[in-house]
């Protein structure tokens, strides 16, 4: 029998490696930025075209490479970071496996220009699909410029899996933010399609966070600082009142490397216990420094997950540190928060005699406590009887009130022969029909109603807009402003009216009739969060996502008490919908129970 195991050709092996390293343009952005940081750069520029599909270019002023190194950096497992296996457990750099540039060169057109400060001329190398097209000496400035063009040009199937430009740009911005936040002393510049997205000057951590997320972030931050033998924690958490419904602004950095850790996130959330509303998530920017030998950063291809030697100790210290800072800066309540300041004694009176006249005490000589007690005793039987009756009536009238119980149903049926809807547990609406009953989930049903209303307003007819007496100015990060601007026309079709766009804010002068002013920020934040999901680039998809997002945010929530008129309106509007049986997110809105099915419940 012939042999069936064979070595893969280099170009095939490189493409397989590229599948692990390069999942989308953002993967290339991450690798190139980290290489620039490892090269000691103080100024880094990122240029993107068509969300990185056409061009990703990173320019730095680092130490550059020699002609030999420039050629060697594209070989697999070629690296200057490690020399022996033990070095893997004492890493202080970003890249170390030597796969990034080889993998990128296998699936793109790459042009490298680099020069060391001590050299007169630099090196230029052009590579297409792992093949070197040219290598020349050129005149260039100190540092390295690497341009990656036509990503996945030789793997069209892989290119077809990329999302819309909006989504891919969002991923690249995420990677840029993580690297920029991890290194606040380095200056960063980012352009997309010749438009400036970020211009971040080197400075301290607080200034970097404010520069990335907008000027409003400055007032939200609470500093965190703790130093121990096994862990140093620095950074900021946002005040509880600025918590969000999404997890976007949550950053952990370990030894200047961005990581994801649900375990450490739980420690932070635990520290906010009792301070957050249900469903809210705290924002934080936390920087942990631990001995390099106590972590393993090579357990995941993207190096965003880390294995710690002493997770439990880190958890306890992180939770205690965040909780201490919240209390120290009067964010968390203290034991004497109800103390009346009027009862405090001035400090200068503590050791001094009291000046002035002695206060007089007056006594009522005719006071007789027994006379009052007799009067109470005379009236007591009547009051007791009244109290008992009141208590019994209170129990019978409210024990099952508005909870859809048997007494509630009987009471309603006795009061009104025409009533056909009842509310159960402030969650379901029961409607009587000839064949039995219909149980309607009030929140999901209202989602369906609002979804179809918004979708019709956006796509078919002109939505009604109500003008605000005072325009509302809302702060967002620059990339969120860009996202809002890209769907500005769709939002205007939905009833929004905009007055001004700036780099970190938007002014709204009109809103849809069905939206109240206090909900504007919540709606737009929820919409941006939904837009960040993997949405295909179709002309209808933005409308659909907007309608779903509005419906989810504005629908009647579980726990809301509905009047008879509101219940009947909900039922009538639901069954006037085109698709009344399912919510916009595919869940059933109602279930029907026939009389036979109800009878079977008791006959079985």
Task: Specify the DSSP class assigned to residue 582.
Answer: B
Distance of CA 254 to the CA centre of its chain: 20
pLDDT of residue 303: 62
pLDDT tens sequence across 129-176: 888 899 999 999 999 999 999 999 888 888 888 888 888 988 999 999
Q: Which of 85-94, 286-295, 401-410, 499-508 has the lowest mean pLDDT?
A: 401-410
pLDDT of residue 5: 74
E-assigned strand segments in 105-241? 109-115, 122-128, 131-138, 143-149, 187-192, 195-200, 221-227, 232-238
pLDDT of residue 522: 81
All residues at 6 or more sequence positions from 246 whose CB lies less than 8 Å from its CB, including other chains: 281, 525, 526, 529
Determine the Cα–Cα distance for residues 461 and 305; give it in Å rounded to an integer: 49
pLDDT of residue 156: 84
Bridge partners of 134, per DSSP, are 126
Nearest-CA neighbor of 205 among 262, 248, 253? Answer: 253
pLDDT of residue 460: 66
Segment holding 494, helix H or strand E? helix 488-494
Determine the Cα–Cα distance for residues 209 and 205; give it in Å rounded to an integer: 6
pLDDT of residue 201: 94
pLDDT of residue 499: 87
pLDDT of residue 143: 94
Determine the Cα–Cα distance for residues 292 and 92; give it in Å rounded to an integer: 7
**CATH topology identical between 10-203 and 408-604:** no
Q: Is the pLDDT of residue 50 over 90?
A: yes
Q: Is the pLDDT of residue 416 over 70?
A: no
404 neighbors 422 (Cβ within 8 angstroms): yes
304 neighbors 175 (Cβ within 8 angstroms): no
- HSE-CB at 370 with a 13 A cutoff on CA atoms is 0
pLDDT tens sequence across 278-318: 778 899 999 999 888 777 666 555 567 777 778 888 889 99
Nearest-CA neighbor of 454 among 483, 484, 491, 488? Answer: 491
Q: Quick one: pLDDT band at residue 400, thresholds 50, 70, 90?
A: very low
Residue 304 vs residues 49, 307, 586: alpha-carbon distances, Å: 26, 10, 33
DSSP string, 55-85: EEEEEE-S----HHHHHHTTSTT--SS-SSG
CATH class of 212-328: alpha beta
pLDDT tens sequence across 517-530: 888 888 888 788 77
pLDDT of residue 23: 84
- pLDDT more than 70, % of the chain: 75
Domain boundaries 10-203, corresponding CATH code: 3.30.565.10
Q: Which fold has domain 408-604?
A: formyl-coa transferase, domain 3 (3.30.1540)
State the average pLDDT for the chain: 79
Nearest-CA neighbor of 524 among 246, 285, 239? Answer: 246
All residues at 6 or more sequence positions from 230 whose CB lies less than 8 Å from its CB, including other chains: 290, 291, 294, 310, 313, 314
E-assigned strand segments in 71-174? 109-115, 122-128, 131-138, 143-149
Task: Specify the DSSP class assigned to residue 359.
Answer: P
Helices 541-554 and 520-531 sit at what angle, rounded to 10 degrees?
140
Query: Mean pLDDT across the stretch 438-465?
Result: 83
User: For the chain, which residues make up each domain, given as ranges?
Assistant: 10-203, 212-328, 408-604
530 neighbors 549 (Cβ within 8 angstroms): yes
Q: Is the pLDDT of residue 446 over 90?
A: yes
Model's pTM, two decimal places? 0.64
């Amino acid at each position: 029998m012939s042999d069936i195991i064979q070595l893969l050709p280099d170009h095939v092996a490189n493409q397989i490696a590229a599948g692990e390293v390069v999942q989308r343009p953002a993967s290339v952005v991450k690798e190139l930025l980290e290489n620039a940081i490892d090269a000691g750069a103080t100024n880094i520029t990122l240029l993107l075209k068509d969300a990185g599909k056409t061009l990703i270019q990173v320019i730095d002023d680092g130490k550059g490479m020699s002609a030999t190194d420039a050629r060697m950096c594209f070989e697999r497992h070629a690296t200057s970071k490690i020399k022996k296996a033990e070095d893997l457990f004492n890493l202080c750099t970003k890249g170390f496996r030597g796969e990034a540039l080889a993998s990128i060169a296998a699936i793109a057109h790459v042009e490298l220009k680099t020069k060391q400060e001590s050299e007169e001329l630099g090196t230029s190398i052009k590579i297409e699909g792992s093949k070197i097209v040219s290598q020349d000496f050129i005149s260039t400035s100190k540092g390295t410029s690497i341009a990656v063009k036509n990503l996945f040009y030789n793997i069209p199937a892989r290119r077809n899996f990329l999302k819309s430009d909006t989504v891919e740009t969002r991923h690249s911005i995420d990677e840029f933010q993580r690297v920029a936040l991890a290194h606040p002393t380095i200056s960063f510049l980012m352009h997309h399609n010749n438009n400036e997205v970020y211009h971040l000057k080197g400075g301290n951590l607080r200034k970097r966070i404010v520069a990335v997320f907008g000027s409003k972030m400055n007032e939200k931050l609470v500093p965190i600082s703790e130093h121990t033998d096994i862990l140093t924690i620095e950074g900021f958490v946002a005040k509880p009142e600025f918590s969000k419904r999404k997890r976007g602004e949550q950053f952990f950095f370990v030894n200047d490397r961005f990581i994801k850790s649900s375990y450490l996130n739980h420690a932070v959330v635990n520290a906010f216990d009792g301070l957050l509303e249900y469903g809210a998530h705290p924002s934080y920017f936390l920087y942990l420094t631990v001995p390099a030998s106590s972590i393993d950063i090579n357990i995941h291809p993207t190096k965003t997950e880390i294995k710690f030697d002493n997770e439990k100790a880190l958890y306890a210290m992180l939770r205690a540190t965040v909780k201490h800072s919240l209390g120290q800066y009067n964010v968390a309540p203290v034991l004497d928060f109800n103390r009346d300041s009027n009862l405090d004694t001035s400090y200068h009176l503590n050791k001094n005699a009291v000046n002035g006249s002695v206060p007089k005490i007056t006594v009522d000589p005719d006071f007789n406590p027994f006379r009052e007690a007799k009067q109470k005793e005379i009236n007591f039987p009547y009051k007791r009887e009244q109290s008992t009756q009141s208590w019994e009536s209170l129990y019978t009238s409210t024990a099952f009130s508005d909870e859809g119980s048997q007494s509630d149903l009987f009471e309603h049926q006795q009061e009104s022969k025409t009533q056909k809807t009842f509310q159960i547990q402030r969650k379901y609406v029961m409607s009587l029909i000839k064949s039995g009953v219909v149980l309607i989930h009030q929140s999901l049903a209202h989602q369906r109603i609002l979804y179809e209303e918004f979708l019709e307003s956006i796509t078919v007819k002109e939505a009604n807009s109500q003008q605000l007496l005072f325009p509302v100015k809302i702060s967002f990060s620059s990339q969120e402003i860009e996202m809002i601007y890209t769907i500005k026309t769709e939002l205007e079709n939905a009833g929004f009216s905009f007055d001004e766009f700036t780099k970190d804010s938007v002014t709204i002068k009109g809103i849809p009739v069905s939206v109240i002013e206090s909900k504007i920020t919540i709606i737009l934040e929820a919409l941006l969060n939904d837009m960040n999901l993997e949405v295909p680039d179709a002309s209808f998809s933005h409308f659909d996502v907007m309608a779903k997002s509005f419906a989810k945010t504005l629908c009647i929530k579980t726990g809301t008490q509905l009047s008879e008129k509101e219940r009947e309106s909900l039922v009538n509007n639901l069954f006037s919908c085109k698709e009344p049986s399912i919510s916009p997110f595919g869940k059933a809105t109602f279930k029907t129970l026939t009389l036979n099915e109800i009878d079977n419940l008791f006959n079985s």
